Amino acid sequence: MPRDATRDVVRGLTSLEMTFVNISTLRWTLHSGYIGQITYADTIFPCFAFLSGMSPAPARRNVGLIGIGLSLQTVSAVVNRKPVVRIPGVLQRLGVASLIVNEPRLAFLRRYHGVPLMLLWYAITLLGASKTSIENPLAHPDYPAADARGIAQTRIDRMFFGQGLYTPSYDPEGLLGSLTTAVSMLVGHSFKEQSFTASQKIMASITMITVGETLHFLLPKYAPISKSLWTPSFVLVTSGVSVLKYLALERAMPYLPTTIQNLLLAVGKRSLEVYVISTLLTMLFTLGGQQSFMARGMRLIGSVTGAAAADFIMSLGFTGIVAASAKFMVSRNLRLRW
């Protein structure tokens, strides 16, 4: 079966966006620090999950994703001299969610476009919270006066991973959110399989965004829009944004310069390799704190252009290096294999 060029272009753009926002500290590239508020940066990883659902992966590949993610975080712990290796992470989240989506024995969880997964997420979240957070079982660090140690996600992660979390008490990419990340993937799968017209897809996306925002407005305690917890409302809003993004790029593709289109196609075909290269280069470029290559470059360029422009130039240059590496790998037919 031929590859879906539009999917590769959208995945390529999304991968480069992830690279850019992960290295940049510009205000418009930051993730939201508040529950109920969402930034464009918050929609990038969910879009990648949405796209992953469009191309089912075998169990071996998903287990491999988890292994690669753990390996990268082991390297990070060694390089940064951390005593504990963080266990949850981006690739681990994708691997676990994809196992849920593609495992034949879990087909009953995939019925009705993932609604059973959302109900299971709620059941675990509401019943698994400690007594200290009973007034707000969905509380997490972004919620006023919340104690992250009492929420279900933290309790589950601490049971499995001990101190191997993003912070000692909480990890935004823990196990519980893998259930709803799987729903993001299932939306992508449905988007690919259903024979809707473009106008019907636009209406579906607007409906998802509207329902997600409405649920948050009416039930802020039980349906908050939260990337950290990957709540059902967050799934609806970001899935709607992902559909609109896909349709917009699909319409724009014939007008994209060939050079840009080929570059995005290359990155889309090597999205995993791009993530690995980006992660390793980030470690290298930021090693040494204020004496790192990134910090020195920021100061040098900033002395001429100002801090914000320097951040943009350095982040864009870094993203360009990553994109060029993907183009090279495609031209030489190089990729990670397992």
Whether residue 99 is found in the same domain as residue 240 = yes
Mean pLDDT, the chain, whole residue set:
91
CB of 267 within 8 A of CB of 236?
Answer: no
The two counts, helices (H) then strands (E), for the chain are: 14, 0
Largest CA distance in the chain: 60
> 10-19, 103-112, 232-241, 310-319: lowest mean pLDDT where?
103-112
Region 26-44: mean pLDDT is 85
Number of domains present in the structure of the chain:
2
Whether residue 77 is found in the same domain as residue 5 = no
Region 171-183: mean pLDDT is 94
Q: What is the pLDDT of residue 145?
A: 63
Whether residue 65 is found in the same domain as residue 202 = yes
Q: What is the pLDDT of residue 38?
A: 86
Whether residue 53 is found in the same domain as residue 16 = no
Q: What is the pLDDT of residue 23?
A: 93
Name the domain boundary from 229, 254, 279: 254
Name the domain boundary from 204, 230, 254: 254
Q: What is the pLDDT of residue 281?
A: 96
Q: Spell out a b/e string for 36-63, using b for 16 or more CB atoms within 10 Å of the CB, else e.
A: eebbebbbbbbbbbbbbbbbebeeeebe
Q: List the domain range (segments joined by +) for residue 124.
A: 34-254
Whether residue 275 is found in the same domain as residue 285 = yes
Whether residue 299 is found in the same domain as residue 225 = no
3-state DSSP call for residue 224?
coil
Q: What is the pLDDT of residue 65?
A: 96
Whether residue 11 is found in the same domain as residue 131 = no
d(CA 23, CA 318): 8
d(CA 197, CA 213): 24
Whether residue 26 is found in the same domain as residue 43 = no
Q: What is the pLDDT of residue 134?
A: 63
Q: What is the pLDDT of residue 1?
A: 55
Whether residue 113 is found in the same domain as residue 95 = yes
